[in-house]
Amino acid sequence: DTGVSQNPRHKITKRGQNVTFRCDPISEHNRLYWYRQTLGQGPEFLTYFQNEAQLEKSRLLSDRFSAERPKGSFSTLEIQRTEQGDSAMYLCASSPGGGPRGETQYFGPGTRLLVL
């Protein structure tokens, strides 16, 4: 296992279309995070899963956003009716949990979304 993977790496879509991103965490990592990063800013937390349970959602995650992690493995982030303001880099991270070192998050390469 070489780390967290995300697909696609780049996505260009027209306003109003739906898009879905996938994140495959490091195997046996039970914690999974999604972050969003806009140009010139640091990443901002979107949502968190422990195994298959979504335990926290940021107020940044509007009703148009939904995330799932079926069976506690990979996760998907869907954006419905995309808006130009959704253009950003979407980052996924995972951690094994269980103690201080276990909370270190390992980040994927990100999915860059451009909404035209």
Partner 1 sequence: KQEVTQIPAALSVPEGENLVLNCSFTDSAIYNLQWFRQDPGKGLTSLLLIQSSQREQTSGRLNASLDKSSGRSTLYIAASQPGDSATYLCAVTLTSGTYKYIFGTGTRLKVLA
* Residue numbers at the binding site for partner 1 (CB under 8 A): 31, 33, 35, 40-45, 48, 55-56, 91, 93, 95, 100, 103-110, 112
Q: Which is nearer to partner 1, 57 or 80 (CB)?
A: 57
Rounded distance between C-alpha atoms, residue 91 and residue 68, angstroms = 15
Tokens representing 63 are 């009703």
CB of 76 to partner 1, least distance (A): 18
Rounded distance between C-alpha atoms, residue 99 and residue 90, angstroms = 27
CB of 9 to partner 1, least distance (A): 10
Tokens representing 22 are 């996938």
The string of DSSP letters for 16-69 reads T--EEEEEEPPTT--EEEEEEE-TTS--EEEEEEETTEEEEE-TTS-TTEEEE-
Q: Which is nearer to partner 1, 56 or 81 (CB)?
A: 56
Q: Which is nearer to partner 1, 13 or 96 (CB)?
A: 96
SS3 46: strand
Q: Which is nearer to partner 1, 75 or 95 (CB)?
A: 95
CB of 62 to partner 1, least distance (A): 18
CB of 2 to partner 1, least distance (A): 13
